[in-house]
Structure 1
Amino acid sequence: MRPWKLLDSTTVAGEAHDMKLYQRGDEYSIKTGYSELMNSRMHSSEDILAELGCKPIRHKTDAHILIGGLGMGFTLAEALKHSHKQAKITVAELVPAVIQWNQSHLAALAGNPLQDNRVSVFQGDVGLLMRDNNNEYDAILLDVDNGPEGLTRQENGTLYSLNGLKAAKKALKPKGIFAVWSAFPEPRFTKRMKQAGFQTTEVPCRAHSKKGSKHMVWLGVNA
Structure 2
Amino acid sequence: MIPWSLIDKAPIPGGGGELRLMRRGDEFSIRLGANELMNSRLSWSEEALATLSLERIKSRPAPRVLIGGLGMGFTLRAALAALGPQARVIVAELVPAVVAWARGPMAELHGGSLADPRVHIEEGDVARLIRSAASRYDAILLDVDNGPEGLTRDANDGLYTKAGLNAARAALNPGGVFAVWSSSGPDEAFKHRLRQAGFGVEEIRARARGGRGGARHIVWIATRGDGGAGSLPRD
Is the contact made by 1:52 and 1:179 (CA closer than 8 Å) also made in structure 2? no
2:218 alignment counterpart: 216
Which amino acid counterpart does residue 203 of structure 1 have in structure 2?
I
Q: Counterparts of 2:69 and 2:210 in 1: how far apart (Å)?
A: 21
**Pair 1:199–1:75, CA change in 2 (3 A):** same
Is the contact made by 1:4 and 1:23 (CA closer than 8 Å) also made in structure 2? yes
The structural deviation recorded for 1:61 is 2.6
Q: Which blocks of at least 5 consecutive residues in structure 1 are unaligned? A: none
1:203 paired with 2:211, answer: no
2:80 alignment counterpart: 80
Q: Counterparts of 1:131 and 1:137 in 2: how far apart (Å)?
A: 12
Is the contact made by 1:55 and 1:83 (CA closer than 8 Å) also made in structure 2? no
TM-score scaled to structure 1, two decimals? 0.95
Secondary structure in 1 matching 2:109: coil
**Pair 1:20–1:54, CA change in 2 (3 A):** same
Q: Counterparts of 1:14 and 1:129 in 2: how far apart (Å)?
A: 17
Cα root mean square deviation, aligned = 1.7
**Pair 1:192–1:152, CA change in 2 (3 A):** farther
The structural deviation recorded for 1:59 is 4.2
1:136 paired with 2:136, answer: yes
2:98 alignment counterpart: 98
1:194 alignment counterpart: 195
Q: CA offsets per residue over residues 168-222 of structure 1, 9 Å max, x none?
A: 0000000001111011121111111111100101001111123111110000111
2:172 alignment counterpart: 172
**Pair 1:33–1:153, CA change in 2 (3 A):** closer
Q: Which blocks of at least 5 consecutive residues in structure 2 are unaligned? A: 226-235
What is the aligned-residue identity percentage?
A: 49
Secondary structure in 1 matching 2:215: strand
Q: Counterparts of 2:152 and 2:72 in 1: how far apart (Å)?
A: 24
**Pair 1:114–1:16, CA change in 2 (3 A):** closer
2:8 alignment counterpart: 8
TM-score scaled to structure 2, two decimals? 0.90
The structural deviation recorded for 1:16 is 6.4
Secondary structure in 2 matching 1:86: coil
Is the contact made by 2:145 and 2:151 (CA closer than 8 Å) also made in structure 1? no
Count of residue pairs brought into register by the alignment? 223
Is the contact made by 1:62 and 1:88 (CA closer than 8 Å) also made in structure 2? yes
Q: Counterparts of 1:59 and 1:102 in 2: how far apart (Å)?
A: 31
